[in-house]
Amino acid sequence: MTELRLEGVSKRYGTDDDETVALAGVDLTVRDGEFFTLVGPSGCGKTTTLRTIAGFETPTEGTVAFDGEAMTAVPPEDRDIGIVFQSYALFPHMSVAENVGYGLEFRDPPDGRSVDDRVAELLELVDLSGMGERAPDQLSGGQQQRVALARALAPAPDLLLLDEPLSALDAQLRESLRLQLKRIQSTLDITTVYVTHDQEEALAISDRLAVMSAGTVEQVGPPQEIYHEPATRFVAEFVGDNTVFDGRVSETTADGARVAVGDATFDLPALPPGTETVSFCLRPGTLTRDADRNRVTVAVDTCEFLGERVRVHGRWNGTAIVLGLESMPPETVTVGFAPEDVHVLETS
Amino acid sequence: MSRRDRFRGAVDRLSAVGDRVAAVSRLYTAVGSLRSWLEGHALAVLGIGTAAVLAVMLYLPVGVVFVNAGFEDGVPTFTHVADVLTDPFYFGFLADIFAEPFAIGSHLASLVGWVGAISISLSLEYPLSDLGIPLPVPWLGLETPGLRQGLFGFTAYQAGLSTIASVALGLPAAYVLANYEFRGRRTLRSLTILPFVLPGIMVAVGFYAMFGQAGTLNSLLGAVGLGPFAFVETSPLAIVILAHAFYNAPLVARITVAAWESVDRRAVETARSLGASERRAFRDVVVPQLAPAVLTGALLTFIFTFMTFPIVLALGGLQLATVEVWIYDRIQRLDYAEAATLAVLETILSLGLTYAYLRYESAQTGFSQAASPPPKEALFPDLQTALSPRRLAIVGYGLVTLVVFVGPLASLVVGSVTDGGGFTLDHYAFLLERQLEGESFQTLPLPAIRNSLLFAVATLAIAVPMGVVVSVLTARAGRLGTVVDTLAMVPLAVSGIVFGIGLLQGLVFGISLPGGWRFQVTGAVAIVVAHAVAAYPFVTRNVSPLLSGLDPAMVESARALGASRYRALLDVELPLVASGIVAGAAFAFAISIGEFSSTVILASGGESYTMPVAVERYLGRRSGPAIAMGTILLVVTAASFVVVDRVGGRFER
């Protein structure tokens, strides 16, 4: 039962002259029992954030608190956390059971159970019953991953931290383990922080997620909100496919605005009064061939056949366009969009 | 005894047990709190201990040598160094330059004169006419006028020749080991480490047994009606260089094989696909990756052979004196100031070379096994292939290695039980007789064996913790780690002789402390410390790569599970580097048993002589007893290496 709170966490490396900023004022609240994901491109600070929560990094400024209790000065071994790394970091000189039982040398098993019972229980939880005597290198990658998870969960930690635990696995295994991970997490109802660079994975698995870029949090919210209402241009471009237009308001009416993008003019929904320029985005599905408003003719660059639909990368007026069509287009394709499908990113 | 008495007795015993339990539990609490304090500070305590040992036993002695060379009656002076630098005996023609560094004109004039005196001639010779083959061969004659090398010049000269010989002998081995598959290849590959731990004095005696007047080679040649040849007497330099190659060619081979096997075959295949011929791909892709390894091996060989001592002492004597041998001779004559001066100059040179080596090594990327190493073909798949020129050349090379590597060791064993032609146990009988009837001032075999083993165990006990602590500190210290590493690796660059006189002048003679105290370390303790200081870098060298190769997430996982930093070290890191610790321990043990240079100085006049020292002392007019003692040394070294490996092997997974 733990709520995690980060306030103004900054992390800088190096000297004053040659300083690298890894985190610049991160504020986050992870609710009790929540599956919370940090997602962003490599170098965005998501792993540093996780390591700061674990206590392997000391923030230059700011505080980390578990249930309101400041943790900043507490060493990792006293934080009551479980962590799973991308490399799993199983102890190769110990058997699977010894790996899972290692944390129970320092923390008593929950509910007064014996160590052996707890280890067996955890192995069962991750579908590895009877594998306890194996050596880690006798297991497949997916099995090793589950041992690492069992090991992290054995002492019943307050907080589960997962650092790209699935990215060393192949796509199919990754998806099945993702489901299993989510199932175990919701069964145990344990507060979980998950780090990944894969936005699709982040959307699929999380209760809420934080999109990070260059050491700052761009947006926090549930997956639907992140997907449909990106708060910044970065989020729009990083999460899912989006076409972003930059335009200049040419005319405002009571129920909408007319915006000039290049030499075309689009109908948009109403904008705040006094808006001069606007950036807005459109999901691939909203740009359709049969829409009768806001039509543009896109020069097709590449097509990717994805089964249900075809993802088309094209270009119009120097703007990169992403479309989701039902069939392969010819060299050019004319599409349009309805004003109500537009999501406005920023105005000035 | 009545039942009641028995009951009372039992009660008394029980309460006594109770008292003891209470005492034990009090003790346990005390130990517990001490333990938790130690857990928190263990590394710091061990680190300080290691630093203290290094400061007193390594830096102090070396410092004393420098002080003795640079000070006279407490006044800094350059005269000792200047005397040596400008003495042609030491520095040959360079001495003139050192004496008058600014008389460039006259130096240039003598250089021109020297170059002018070089004569090059071209003629037709018939080198095989003795065999009745009148084959003319164009013969390029090159005559250079004599050049006075001096002691340092000669030392460098023989080191250079030894390096060339080692590379020439080592590269074919690397080629065969890296490119062919045959039975025993892996064993042979691991055996390349063996010469490194063989005692120098024993190898020297082995070469005596092989190439001496009554040696194995002459016996073999005599069987076909040739000889006997006085190999050692007529060309001691050649034998010394061969003995150096015995040591260093396997080193060159080892490093080169590692580089060769790390060449990604896909890189070669890419070059071939781009149009390079097999030969061209080898030249453009493989050779550039091998060159640094060969150079590394050559540089190390040069450093080692520059500081050579027991081999030259035993095989060449003073007529082939290298700097080390000369320093030893000065010490025997109690001329400490000159010995110290020479030692300082030698150390500066070897430190420079070692620094160059370390810089060079760190600039190289580590040799890791490539994802897809080059394929190996069978060495002798069928008779037809076996008779191809390339395979025949390999067979010829194999014969040479038999003579150079197996010959001396086999001769040592054979020579210890033969005399002239027949089987004899006389040599061992001599040792036994000496043991039973020898005077106390004489060198007895049993104490030598006992001392060697005792010192080796004591060395192990000091060197292994020291080496591990240095590894752990280097791994933890980050950028500071390089500094720690370099400081801790100084023993590799300081020769045993230099270290020996440092210990002698510093710790054995004693250092006056304020308040009338004297700090003095003598006899066995000094020897053990010298061995430990010489041996621990090998522990570090074996442990460090494993330690730094560990996934940091491993330790972090342990800590997230509740282990303190110390527990993580104990539970995770140390078990995973156990194989390195065991290998380092085996090295430390073998190095202690074989150490000669500083032991011979520290043991002189005392009873702390070891087996190598005994071998040297027996090496008189009759080589028999020395060969027998050398054989015992070989057996003990081999046995202890196996034992340490077996005992340690249990801790490996």
Q: Among B466, B505, B525, which residue's Cα sits nearest to residue B61?
A: B505
Last residue of a domain, one of B424, B449, B481: B424
Is the per-residue pLDDT at B43 higher than 60? yes
Q: Are residues B154 and B49 in the same domain?
A: no
Is the per-residue pLDDT at B236 higher than 90? no
Partner residue opposite B557 with nearest CB, options A75, A89, A93 = A89
- Confidence (pLDDT) at B367: 47
Q: Is B102 part of any domain?
A: no
Is the per-residue pLDDT at B269 higher than 80? no
User: In the structure, what pLDDT confidence band is assigned to residue B609 with cuts at 50, 70 and 90?
Assistant: confident
Mutation target to probe the A interface, by most A beta carbons within 10 A, among B561, B566, B570, B579 is B561
Average of per-residue pLDDT across B540-568:
85
Is the per-residue pLDDT at B288 higher than 90? no
SS3 call for B599 = helix
Closest residue on chain A to B559 (Cα): A77
> Tokens representing A110?
């929950």
Average pLDDT, chain A: 88
Average of per-residue pLDDT across B492-509:
77
> B548 or B130: whose pLDDT is higher?
B548
Q: Is B228 part of any domain?
A: yes
**Whole-number Å distance between alpha carbons of A165 and B645:** 39
**Whole-number Å distance between alpha carbons of B139 and B129:** 14
> What percentage of chain B carries pLDDT values higher than 70?
73
Q: Residues near B596 by Cβ (< 8 Å), separated by ≥ 6?
A: B199, B200, B201, B309, B310, B496, B612, B613, B616
Question: Taking CB atoms and an 8 Å cutoff, what residues of chain B touch A92?
Answer: 576, 653
Q: Are residues B258 and B313 in the same domain?
A: yes
Is the per-residue pLDDT at B128 higher than 60? no
Last residue of a domain, one of B393, B424, B455: B424
Q: Is B436 part of any domain?
A: no
> Which CATH number do you get for residue B391?
1.10.3720.10
- Confidence (pLDDT) at B4: 55
Q: Are residues B252 and B390 in the same domain?
A: yes
Mutation target to probe the B interface, by most B beta carbons within 10 A, among A93, A161, A192 is A93
Q: Are residues B355 and B268 in the same domain?
A: yes
> B487 or A290: whose pLDDT is higher?
A290
User: In the structure, what pLDDT confidence band is assigned to residue A38 with cuts at 50, 70 and 90?
Assistant: very high
Partner residue opposite A155 with nearest CB, options B559, B562, B578 = B562
Q: Is B14 part of any domain?
A: no
A151-155, B417-421, B635-639: segment of lowest average pLDDT: B417-421
Q: Are residues B158 and B200 in the same domain?
A: yes
> A227 or B78: whose pLDDT is higher?
A227
> B421 or B206: whose pLDDT is higher?
B206
> B363 or B109: whose pLDDT is higher?
B109
Is the per-residue pLDDT at B639 higher than 70? yes
Cα-Cα-Cα-Cα torsion B477, B480, B481, B487, nearest 10 degrees, comes to -130
- Confidence (pLDDT) at B52: 83
Average of per-residue pLDDT across A322-329:
86
> What percentage of chain A carries pLDDT values higher than 90?
26
Give Cα B319 to chain centroid, integer Å.
24
Is the per-residue pLDDT at B544 higher than 90? no
Q: Concatenate the DSSP letters of all residues of B566-588 into one string.
A: HHHIIIIIHHHTHHHHHHHHHHH
Closest residue on chain B to A162 (Cα): B557
- Confidence (pLDDT) at B207: 81
Closest residue on chain B to A161 (Cα): B560
Q: Are residues B546 and B619 in the same domain?
A: yes
- Confidence (pLDDT) at A208: 94
User: In the structure, what pLDDT confidence band is assigned to residue B625 with cuts at 50, 70 and 90?
Assistant: confident
> Tokens representing A178?
């993702």
**CB distance B563–A92 less than 8 Å?**
no
Is residue A296 within 8 Å of residue A313, measured between CB atoms?
A: no
Q: Are residues B605 and B477 in the same domain?
A: yes
**CB distance B563–A102 less than 8 Å?**
yes
> What percentage of chain B carries pLDDT values higher than 90?
1
Q: Are residues B367 and B486 in the same domain?
A: no
Query: Which range, A9-18, A112-121, A253-262, B622-631, is most confident?
Result: A112-121
Question: Taking CB atoms and an 8 Å cutoff, what residues of chain B touch A82?
Answer: 560-561
Q: Is B187 part of any domain?
A: yes
Question: Taking CB atoms and an 8 Å cutoff, what residues of chain A touch B39?
Answer: none
Q: Are residues B401 and B463 in the same domain?
A: no
Q: Are residues B392 and B418 in the same domain?
A: yes
Is the per-residue pLDDT at A3 higher than 50? yes
- Count of structural domains, chain B: 2
Pairing relationship of beta strands A256-261 and A81-84 according to DSSP bridges? unpaired
Average pLDDT, chain B: 76
Average of per-residue pLDDT across B443-468:
86
Is residue A158 within 8 Å of residue A2, measured between CB atoms?
A: yes
> B97 or A256: whose pLDDT is higher?
A256
Interface pTM, i.e. ipTM: 0.78
**CB distance B561–A54 less than 8 Å?**
no
**CB distance A83–B557 less than 8 Å?**
yes
**CB distance B558–A102 less than 8 Å?**
yes
Is the per-residue pLDDT at B7 higher than 60? no
Query: Which domain does B638 fall in, by range?
Result: 38-77+441-653
| Distances from the Cα of B400 to the Cα of A322, B173, B250, B393, angstroms | 72, 11, 14, 11
Question: Taking CB atoms and an 8 Å cutoff, what residues of chain A touch B550?
Answer: none
A53-57, A198-202, B472-476, B536-540: segment of lowest average pLDDT: B472-476
Question: Is B563 at the interface with chain A, CB within 8 A?
Answer: yes
Q: Are residues B330 and B366 in the same domain?
A: yes
Q: Is B648 part of any domain?
A: yes
The residue with tokens 């040696």 is B215
Question: Is B653 at the interface with chain A, CB within 8 A?
Answer: yes
Last residue of a domain, one of B367, B395, B424: B424
- Confidence (pLDDT) at A193: 94
Question: Is B553 at the interface with chain A, CB within 8 A?
Answer: yes
> B8 or B538: whose pLDDT is higher?
B538
Question: Is B148 at the interface with chain A, CB within 8 A?
Answer: no
Closest residue on chain A to B566 (Cα): A77
> Nearest C-alpha of chain A: how many angstroms from B374?
26
> Nearest C-alpha of chain A: how many angstroms from B646?
19
Query: Which range, A148-152, B230-234, B440-444, B512-516, is most confident?
Result: A148-152
Is the per-residue pLDDT at B368 higher than 60? no
Q: How does DSSP classify residue A207? A: S
Q: Is B265 part of any domain?
A: yes
> B116 or B406: whose pLDDT is higher?
B406
Ordered by where they begin, the domains of chain A are: 4-237 (3.40.50.300), 241-347 (no CATH)
User: In the structure, what pLDDT confidence band is assigned to residue B26 with cuts at 50, 70 and 90?
Assistant: low
Is the per-residue pLDDT at B421 higher than 80? no
| Distances from the Cα of A162 to the Cα of B48, B213, B560, angstroms | 38, 74, 12
Question: Taking CB atoms and an 8 Å cutoff, what residues of chain A touch B562?
Answer: 77-78, 103, 105-107, 155
Partner residue opposite B560 with nearest CB, options A82, A86, A88 = A82
Q: Are residues B92 and B239 in the same domain?
A: yes
Question: Taking CB atoms and an 8 Å cutoff, what residues of chain B touch A162?
Answer: none
Partner residue opposite B561 with nearest CB, options A75, A88, A106 = A106
- Confidence (pLDDT) at B650: 45
pLDDT digits (tens, 9 = 90+) for A173-184: 888 888 989 999
> Tokens representing B525?
């303790």
Is the per-residue pLDDT at B651 higher than 60? no
> Nearest C-alpha of chain B: how many angstroms from A232?
34
Q: Is B653 part of any domain?
A: yes
